[in-house]
Structure 1
Amino acid sequence: MTKRFSALAVSAVIAGGFLVTSVPAHAATPAGHGAIVSKATITCNERQMRQQIAQLKNKAAELKRLGENDAARRALADAAAIQRRLDQCIKADENQSKPFPG
């Protein structure tokens, strides 16, 4: 009798755990006409990003002068990544101001 009760309790716990983890995924409703959808806004400080790019390029030049080529390459890669983000921000600002981007 005790083994049956233990097996039944374990089965109930497993089934309950399955329901608890699976129900929220199915309970989510798609956004309808009345739903409010908010988009995350990303602010770009162009002046600060340009300063970071210049600092990284200066750091890369100094590292290359000292013979640290790998570190210089990493600094240039970081500067290029910031430049890509800056370009994306500028492009997003341009497209946002147009009524029909394209």
Structure 2
Amino acid sequence: MRRRISTLAVTAAMAGGILFTALPAHAATTVAGGQSVAARGAVTVNIEELRQQSAELKAKAARLERDGHHAEAKRTRDQANALDRKIQAYIDAENNA
């Protein structure tokens, strides 16, 4: 349970920093938890940047696995998988919109 919470916290922090940095100041509203939500206009997500981050996490997991740090490698792979699921959700949302 502890690992899942920390993974979710890292994923949420990454998403908050990535998703809402492209918004102009007048188009964002801060809500509880410090996340920003678009008040008007579209929210843009750089899918290629997210894919690059996922690839970097997977490479890091492979290095950790080779070095014998199996638990850390699993956590890093879990983060990459969560990011992959998020990417797929964005793609699905775009296709269904």
- CA deviations on 1:33-75 (whole Å, 9 max, x unpaired) are xxxxx67854321110100010000000000000000000000
Gap runs ≥5 in structure 2: 1-38
Whose relative contact order is higher, 1 or 2, with alpha carbons under 8 Å and at least 6 apart?
Answer: 2
* TM-score, normalised via structure 1 length: 0.53
| Residue in structure 1 matched with residue 51 of structure 2 by the alignment | 50
Gap runs ≥5 in structure 1: 1-37, 97-102
Bigger fraction of residues in strand: 2
Aligned residues: 59
Aligned alpha-carbon RMSD (Å): 1.7
* TM-score, normalised via structure 2 length: 0.56
1:67 aligns to what SS in structure 2?
coil
| Residue in structure 2 matched with residue 78 of structure 1 by the alignment | 79
Amino acid in the other structure paired with 2:72: A
Provide the C-alpha distance between the structure 2 equivalents of 1:94 and 1:85, rounded to a whole number of angstroms: 14
Higher radius of gyration, 1 or 2 = 1
Q: Find out whether 1:95 has 2:96 as its counterpart.
A: yes
